[in-house]
Structure 1
Amino acid sequence: MTIQVEVIETSSLGDRSYLAHDGRVAVVIDPQRDIDRVLALAGRLGVRVTQVVETHLHNDYVSGGLALARVSGAAYLVAGAEEVAFDRVPVADGDRIAVSGQMWLEAVGTPGHTFHHLSYVLAGPGEPAGVFTGGSLLFGSTGRTDLLGAEHARPLARHQHASARRLADLLPDGARIWPTHGFGSFCAATQSDAVGSTIGREKDVNAVLQLEADDFVAHVLDELDAYPAYYAHMGAHNAAGAEPIDLTPVRPADSAELRARVQAGEWVVDLRSRKAFAHRHLAGTLSFGLDGPMATWLGWLAPWGAPVTLLGDSAEQVAAAQRELARIGVDRPAAVATGTVEQWAGHDQDLLTGLATATFADLAAAHAGRPAGDLPMPGVVLDVRMGKEWRAGHVDGAVHIPLPALPERLGEVPEGTVWVHCGTGYRAAAAASLLARAGRRVVHIDDTYARAADAGLPITTTPEQETS
């Protein structure tokens, strides 16, 4: 009998769910809300889901665990110490859960990411195959410890250190680790490019297994930066028990409705690429391309519960965005529209506009008094990266307002044409569209920040122009 572990990737949120099976029965760990993917995988494998397991109450997505357990008839395993509003099988440190006669899980208390976090060792005949670590031991990192409040960050960091050490002592070096977070998720304290890992590898590369407790606590607290505002709603949603996902098509809006929603200042979101948006878009709409982490940034910036309208090239594009947003609890867009920008504008050319784009080389040329083409001279350079990125180095003289703070701080942006940049161009596109909607003249620097110094721009770490 061979135990197989299938990965269900949700790259847009930086998370992984898992399905472990023996060819007949399966256990699912930390499923996302769109459980159709899990059911389809189980169907292809010809296995029956008998248990659904949560390592913790998630703060970065709405869980599909309760819905999956109800649909499949599986037992739903959640830490017994968690206060939840639904029936579950309570689990505690040391519990052994039989999945089949030859496959079982053992719960290991690993507080740190949350107070009641559990990891699950997957075992069969012979040595343990590995451990599902949730937000505990990640690839080259650990789960962040401040999601339950800044006042808990330090004691949880100390718990996180002890928990990782416990797993390393408990398991052989060859045991695989299967974390839920750490692939771009803000739930990770730091990021790693690794695609897989073992206990032995983590001993070689992971600070939590190399630093003593006091040094690790200082290290992990220093690495923390802001996290998405919508996280505040996820834990409570999951404790209450998330309702099944609704991905049925949303009512389409015509051009008159789109115009009214834009004029009302609503979040009318263009899902096309930022290059397509810059070329031509419906004036007053906002750029959150589906080719990037749309749900993370839109969910972070838009006021919770505000109506969101989605614009896309096709019904497939809009449906994909609807799925992404439902994963973080933005359940039903107010309206959608597909087709061309001309159709969205009702073929009124006055309602269409573009966005000037530039590179860091263009910015350097403008600083030297030689702006390229029709680009206007910069009145202000706005850096919308996060605080940690800014402190590591920024263009001298730039003003810093992190993208998540920009909607509330538009009035703080100095006068003049705004040349706005981020790290790769995606966040700057969202920022440029917010500024343009507010009536500002904008140039979107659609370039990689690493090229700023190569272009000859002076880079500094001094905080003199920081406004965050």
Structure 2
Amino acid sequence: MLFERVESEGLAHYSYIVGDGNEALVIDPRRDCDLYQKMATSAGMRITTVLETHRNEDYVVGSVELSARSGADIFHADGHLDYRYGEAVDDGMRWKVGRFEVEAISTPGHTLGSMSYLLRDSGGEPWIVFTGDDLFAGDLGRVDLMGMERAGEMAGLLYDSIFDRLLPLGDGVIACPAHGAGSVCAASIADRKWTTLGIERKRNPKLQVEGKDEFVEKMAVELEMPPYFKEMERLNMVGAPLLCTVADPLPLSAQEFAEAAGDEFVLDNRTELAFGAAHLSGSLSIWLAGIPSFAGWFLPYDRKIFMVDETGDLDKAVRLLRRLGFDRIGGHLSGGMIAWHTAGMESGTINTANVHDLCRRLDRQEKERAWILDVRGDDELERSGRITGAHQIHVTKLPERIGEVPRDRPIYIFCGSGLRSMMAASILRREGLEDLTVILGGLAGWSSARCPVVR
């Protein structure tokens, strides 16, 4: 038998391949889908079926791509939507995989047509259930995607799905969700890699309720809605373009880059220290590992993206962008910033300072007009503490709240490490703010008497 979970870093997306005999099926594949075919081929199998648990919002599902490569049939959930590919799943549909059988279970709540898939063992007993975005380890799927006016209704559907359809399958059934910790599809997914329905029944905080009314009250809350969700929803109904039709980014000389990227968007995925030392005017700083979490918040779909990359892993950066539907990558700066400077091109800088330096400056009152911008999230402030006098604007909210940042005072930008601070600084610099200093190292070592940390 073949059974593997594939984790897509950054997005915390889980997909699964299940096979037996000479056949295999894949659940919620990612767009760069070579890995599934390699797994199946190595096991002497061919992929015959692709199943989707719901219309995804946070990444481009790879069903169309995988079907084009393998000839597999696609079955999608949310059949009430106008899909342009595949066949809609109905409750109770079954697929044979060698000695095993997979059954579709209607579990609305996260979306109206969400489906879970139950894998039965060779004896017909429930064994593994793939719960999509309904049930996670330690959390449940968000119910606000259709707007808060329908969140209560969706929460009620989710209650019925969890308590009437999933949990009765048995405590010993393994639960395989579509996401792990760090996903934007729920507020607080636990970091345990594997779980069961019994573990979730006992330990999932969202399931510790007296009844449906308490459940709905607990679940019907509004979470952050990244702007790229709309594009993901569109692509995941019409089917994303096949990757073989998407052009690879061209290596460009400094002069070519300057000419081509002039009216487009420049993404710099180097480290915060490299970006602070020298960067192209108007470029946005998102370090390589941060692309899955932040590109969808700040990058446009209607402009070409040009990249400054010195990580040695441009292919990975492009792959991460394409998982979010950013296919218009026009080129990358060949030779990096060295080539840019040796061509006589201008660059900008952003100051950096360590946390001890800022503490000393604050306590000596040399910077009485200093304005500390904390771009961490509320959950981080609860865990690690708040700096007295700091102004908190989460980095994802910065573009819409940029008017709150003064232009006539020195701005010290603070996060947990310096990476998001440099990203925030690049956003502010693009808006014309000049006196910026990124504080490196986060809260570690903070010792300001004038601006203590309050926990």
With normalisation by structure 1, the TM-score equals 0.87
Query: Which residues in structure 2 correspond to 1:237-252 (within 5 Å)?
Result: 237-246=235-244, 248-252=247-251
Distance in 2, Cα, partners of 1:63 & 1:209: 29
Which of 96, 107, 123 lines up with 1:110 in the alignment? 107
Q: Deviations over 1:420-462 (max 9, x none)?
A: 122343321210122233242211123334765898743469x
- Does residue 312 (structure 1) correspond to residue 306 (structure 2)? The answer is no
C-alpha change, 1:228 and 1:80, in structure 2 (3 Å) is closer
Structure 2: give runs of 5+ residues left out of the alignment. none
2: distance between equivalents of 1:18 and 1:236?
23
Q: Partners of 1:237 and 1:139 in 2: how far apart?
A: 28
RMSD of equivalent CA atoms: 2.7
> Does the 8 A contact of 1:29 with 1:52 survive in 2?
yes
Contact 1:93 / 1:109 at 8 angstroms: preserved in 2?
A: yes
State the distance in 1 between where 2:260 and 2:247 align. 22
Say whether 1:132 aligns with 2:127: no
Distance in 1, matches of 2:36 and 2:449, equals: 47
Whether contact under 8 Å (2:126, 2:169) holds in the other structure is yes
Match of 1:256 in 2: 255
**Closer/same/farther in 2, CA of residues 377 and 26 from structure 1, 3 Å limit:** farther
> What SS does structure 1 have at the residue aligned with 2:130?
strand
Q: 2:335 maps to what in 1?
A: 339
Deviation at 1:10, TM superposition (A): 0.3
Name 1:352's counterpart in structure 2: 347
- Distance in 1 separating the partners of 2:34 and 2:108: 30
Alignment match, 2:420:
427
Offset, 1:378: 6.1
The match for 1:32 among 10, 30, 54 is 30
Q: State, as a whole percentage, how many aligned pairs show the same letter.
A: 34
Q: Does 1:301 align with 2:302?
A: no
Aligned residues: 449
Change (3 A) 1:343 1:200: same
Q: Residue 466 of structure 1 aligns with which residue? A: none
Please list the CA deviations of residues 342-375 of structure 1 after superposition, one character each: whole Å capped at 9, or x if unmatched: 2123443x7234332234433322221267xxxx
Give the gaps of 5 or more residues in structure 1.
Answer: 462-468
Q: Give 1:216 shift.
A: 2.9
Code of the residue aligned with 2:5 in structure 1: it is: V
Contact 2:143 2:155 in 1 (8 A): yes
* Partner SS state of residue 398, structure 2: helix
Q: Which moved more, 1:74-83 or 1:194-203?
A: 74-83
Instruction: Please give the alpha-carbon distance, in whole angstroms, between the structure 1 residues aligned to 2:448 and 2:370.
Output: 22
What is the match of residue 9 of structure 1? 7
Give the counterpart of 1:413 among 380, 405, 411: 405
Counterparts of 1:189-338 in structure 2 under 5 Å? 189-212=187-210, 213-222=212-221, 224-246=222-244, 248-260=247-259, 264=263, 266-290=264-288, 292-313=289-310, 317-338=313-334
Could you report, residue by residue, the CA deviation over 1:47-71 in whole angstroms, capped at 9, with x for unpaired residues? 1111100000101111111221232
Q: Aligned with 1:232: secondary structure?
A: helix
Change in Cα spacing, 1:130 to 1:400, as seen in structure 2 (3 Å) is: same
| Misfit runs of 4+, over 4 Å | 260-264, 387-393, 449-456
Contact 1:122-1:130 at 8 Å conserved across structures: yes
Q: CA deviation at 1:7?
A: 1.0
Other-structure match for 1:442: 436
Query: Retained in 2: the 8 A contact 1:161–1:208?
Result: no
SS at the partner of 2:116?
strand
User: Does the residue aligned with 2:300 lie in a helix, a strand or coil?
Assistant: coil
Report the residue type matching 1:106 in the other structure.
Answer: E
How big is the shift at 1:26? 0.7
CA contact 1:50–1:99 (8 Å) conserved in 2: no
1:419 is matched by which residue type in structure 2? Y
Rounded Cα–Cα distance in structure 1 between residues aligned with 2:434 and 2:224: 27
With over 3 angstroms needed to count, the CA separation of the structure-2 counterparts of 1:389 and 1:453, relative to structure 1, is: farther
Q: 1:386-401 to 2 correspondence within 5 Å? A: 386=377, 389=380, 394-401=386-393
Tell me whether 199-208 or 387-396 shows the greater mean CA deviation: 387-396
Q: How does 1:155-166 map to 2 (within 5 A)?
A: 155-166=153-164
SS in 1 for 2:206: helix
Displacement of 1:182 after TM fit?
Answer: 3.0
Contact 1:390/1:400 (<8 A) preserved: no
Distance 1:96 1:450, change over 3 A: farther
**1:464 paired residue number:** none
Matched residue type, 1:81: G
SS in 1 for 2:126: coil
Shift of 1:397: 2.2
User: When the two structures are superposed, what TM-score results if normalisation uses the length of structure 2?
Assistant: 0.90
Deviations 1:277-332 (A, max 9, x none): 23333343221110x22133122112332322111126x52221111111111112
Alignment of 1:38-57 (within 5 A): 38-57=36-55
Structure 1 residues 400-409 or 415-424, which shifts more?
A: 400-409
CA shift at 1:261, angstroms?
6.3
* Matched-pair contact (CA < 8 Å) for 1:381–1:418: yes
| Contact residue 131 and residue 177 of structure 2 kept, 8 A | yes
Q: Which residue of structure 2 aligns with residue 96 of structure 1?
A: 94
Deviation at 1:388, TM superposition (A): 5.4
Question: What corresponds to 2:16 in structure 1?
Answer: 18
CA distance in 1, matches of 2:217, 2:402: 34
